[in-house]
Amino acid sequence: MVYSGPMGNHHEQPTPPASTVTEAEWDYTTRAVQSAISRGLGQSIGLPVHTAAAFQFGNLEEAQAEFAQGGGLSYARMQNPTVRMLEERLSSLEGAAHTLALASGQAATFTALMSVCRAGDHIVSASTLFGGSAGLLQNVLPLMSIETTFTDGSPEAMKAALRPNTRVLWAEMISNPSGDVADVAALAEVAHGAGALLAIDNTVGGAGYLARPLEHGADMSVQSLTKWAGGHGSAMGGSVSVGSSDLSRNLIFTEGEERSLLNLHGGAALAQRQRWLGASQLGMTLAPHSAFLLGQGLETVGVRLDRECATAQALAEWLSRHERVSAVSYCGLPEHPSYERAQRYLPRGKGAILTFDVPDPSRFLSRLQLLRIAPNLGDTRTLVVHPWTTTHGRVPEASRRAAGVGPQTIRMTVGLEDLADLQADIEQAL
């Protein structure tokens, strides 16, 4: 896909011959740097930043058409050219038909779930979740009379938890922090058999580089772009990507939006509903400067993850042999419960987060000189936290343990530093 700019691309090259390889056939790493950028005289070689709050119409009829149908440029709360380029790039990388980028991963999760649920509906979720997602499901959605049943995330348990009013199944592709890998194909079968949708948080799947849930049957792929997509810990963002399958039976339209959705079906209708809800109505809009940083980060996500996954694998193996460390959890280790599934769903690498238990977390963290204590993931720098008392501190104790977090657990997100330097710092801190 090539975005031609808000005023169109007046210098496009002639249509290539039919035998030319199309963008969809390019490797991920090629699409990461080439997608969403126009070709032609004077076109910017990178992602331009558009800071306008509104966009012009030539006449009243154009304005009326846009307000009736949506999907174009009018007011930047709904769409902005820089954000749109990021969305096109994400669609290309996730194998999606449509993507909505928002101000944070939390905004994306909330929008994805609320785009198909209303009061009285039910969600089935895995319990190995990021604390913020657990908080939304446990504390926020009940305020709108939407109830969630938590399960161990297996297709059997999720099937057993279904109710006639179940609208969505929710799980993380690679769970943060326990590294459980979702059996997406089997979960999609369970969801679709019950007339529900499958939404997968693909944050740790690295913008589709490690995993593309839509290709295995998921209906929505949600992610925090703050993590591997941006990759430098420099901007917040989140996205919801949807496929093109016919999901319209699951949509609930309100009177106000019905008019613009009448001619849309399936993924297009779902995507427009999400933009209406998350951006237009709730205003969780992504700022163009952030979209630029996140879109630029995507250009190197594959290269970074190759190195980070290799380092994470080496550290996991080394730590699991270390006498002062216990309970190392990384889905690239044969003893991890998701090891087999990781071979199937994550051919390029098993992710860049791992957890391990140390005798005295406070002492360990305070002795570190290279690794930094910070709650982010997917940074170029290796970061560690004590999830029990920080990221998961407000999650009920049973849910914390179910999410793979104990009082002695350290979560590490592996960056781009040299492996030997990381080992030396961990060794002296232990």
Ligand X SMILES: Cc1ncc(COP(=O)(O)O)c(C=O)c1O
Q: Name the residues that contact ligand X, by CB under 6 A.
A: 104-106, 130, 132-133, 172, 176, 201, 203, 224, 226, 236, 238, 377
CB of 232 to ligand X, least distance (A): 14
Label residues 398-409 b or e (16+ Cβ within 10 Å = b): ebbbbbbbbebb
Q: In this structure, are residues 112 and 274 in contact, taking their beta carbons and an 8 Å threshold? A: yes
Which of 130/276 has CB closer to ligand X?
A: 130
35 or 128, CB closer to ligand X? 128
User: Which helix (DSSP H) or strand (DSSP E) does residue 356 occupy?
Assistant: strand 353-357
Cα radius of gyration rounded to whole Å, the chain:
22
> Token pair for residue 205?
């799947």
Look up tokens 């993850």; give the residue: 305
Report the nearest approach of ligand X to the CB of residue 103 (Å).
8
Least spacing, CB of residue 130 vs ligand X, in Å: 4
Please identify, using beta-carbon distances, which residue of 148 and 176 lies nearer to ligand X. Answer: 176
- Tell me how long the chain is: 430
Closer residue to ligand X (CB): 93 or 251: 93
The distance of closest approach from Cβ of residue 173 to ligand X in the complex, given in angstroms and rounded to an integer, is: 9
Smallest distance from ligand X to CB 234, Å: 13
Query: Which of 166, 158, 163 lies closest to 184, judged by CA?
Result: 158
Place of tokens 């399936």: 266
N-terminal to C-terminal alpha carbon distance within the chain: 50
Q: Given the complex with ligand X, which of 35 and 111 has the nearer CB atom? A: 111
- DSSP-derived secondary structure for 60-71: HHHHHHHHHH-S
In angstroms, the Cα distances linking 105 to 130, 192, 196, 222, 346 are 11, 25, 22, 8, 22
Q: Ramachandran region of residue 139, left (φ > 0), alpha (ψ -120 to 50) or beta?
A: alpha
Least Cβ distance, residue 262 to ligand X (angstroms): 33
- 403 or 422: whose CB is closer to ligand X? 403
**Of residues 38 and 226, the one with the C-beta less far from ligand X:** 226
Residue 121 or residue 172: which is nearer to ligand X going by CB? 172
Phi first, then psi: give them for residue 223, nearest 5 degrees.
-155, 155
- With CB atoms as reference, the residue minimizing the distance to ligand X is 105
Which of 264, 230, 254, 266 is closest to 105 using CA atoms?
230
The tokens for 36 are: 């969403």
Least Å from the CB of residue 104 to ligand X: 3
Q: What angle do CA 269, 79, 56 make, to 5 degrees?
A: 120
- Least distance in angstroms from the C-beta of 127 to ligand X: 14
